Structure 1
Amino acid sequence: MRPRHRITIHWRQENRTISHDVPEGDYILRSFELQGDPLPFSCRNGCCTSCAVRVLDGSIDQREAMGLSRELRRQGYGLLCVARATGPLEAETQDEDEVYELQFGRHFGRGSVRSGLPLDEE
């Protein structure tokens, strides 16, 4: 039998705190769903920021989190859809737009996107 770890998520947008014991190595998001507490998500691939959290205490294995830079991971951000339980964890949900901007804003924040067509043809 695998060890289980107490995972506590402060769901800011819902003003709720949810805790469950998650088997070591299991995806946190999926385990919470199976235990009756679905959390926000979109892609389930670690590519977007819908399920973003900020780790308050503990750590997670999220090597599959393509949607977060190493820098954001070092700052304590995680994606629950690809986060595996490795020990006790306390984290809080984040605003998707805020994390998206931290991750991608520097790439898309340089003016409006244009099609390349003359303005009268766009």
Structure 2
Amino acid sequence: MSSTYTVQVRDRAQGTEYSLEVPADRYILHSCEKQGAELPFSCRNGACTTCAVRVIAGDIYQPEAVGLSPELREKGYALLCVSYARSNLIVETQDEDEVYELQFGRHFARGRVRFGLPLDED
């Protein structure tokens, strides 16, 4: 028999809060949806940042969260689509663009793209 934990999700964008019971052997997002919570998601396989949350309290396990760097995981970010509760949790949804910038900004924030420059003819 699997343990069940209480997961409180604060949805910043919608201004709502859910308190849900989540089995330890089920993805948090899937369990929340089955209980009527409408949370942001996109790919459902841990590759994007749409379902990103910040863990306020508790322990979470996310071995398949390839969309988050180890640095962001250490700072308390998680992806609900591929995360398991390991204790009672309090999490807060994040703005997808903010998390994307934290994750990938150092690679893409290298200035403006310029159009109309002549090509080298060598």
TM-score (norm 1): 0.91
Structure having the larger proportion of residues in helix: 1
Task: Quote the RMSD (CA, aligned, Å).
Answer: 1.7
For 1:102-113, list aligned pairs within 5 A: 102-113=102-113
SS in structure 2 at match of 1:13: coil
Q: 2:117 aligns with which of 102, 106, 119?
A: 119
Structure having the larger proportion of residues in strand: 1
Which residue pairs with 1:32 in the alignment?
Answer: 32
**Cα shift readout 1:43-89 (whole Å, capped 9, x = no counterpart):** 11111110010000001111100110000000000110111121111
What letter matches 2:106 in structure 1? R
Displacement after TM superposition at 1:13 (Å):
0.6
Aligned residues with identical type, % of pairs: 57
SS in structure 1 at match of 2:39: coil
What letter matches 1:100 in structure 2? Y
- Distance in 2 between the 1:101 and 1:55 partners? 18
The number of aligned residues is 119
SS in structure 1 at match of 2:44: coil
Query: Does the Cα contact within 8 Å between 1:8 and 1:89 map onto a contact in 2?
Result: yes
**Cα shift readout 1:21-43 (whole Å, capped 9, x = no counterpart):** 10112100000111111310001
Query: Does the Cα contact within 8 Å between 1:56 and 1:90 map onto a contact in 2?
Result: yes
Structure 1 residues without counterparts, runs of 5 or longer: none
- Distance in 2 between the 1:53 and 1:88 partners? 15
Query: Does the Cα contact within 8 Å between 1:29 and 1:38 map onto a contact in 2?
Result: no
Which range moves more in the overlay, 31-40 or 88-97? 31-40
TM-score (norm 2): 0.91
**Deviation beyond 4 Å, 4+ runs, structure 1:** none
Which residue pairs with 2:20 in the alignment?
Answer: 20
- Distance in 1 between the 2:52 and 2:58 partners? 16
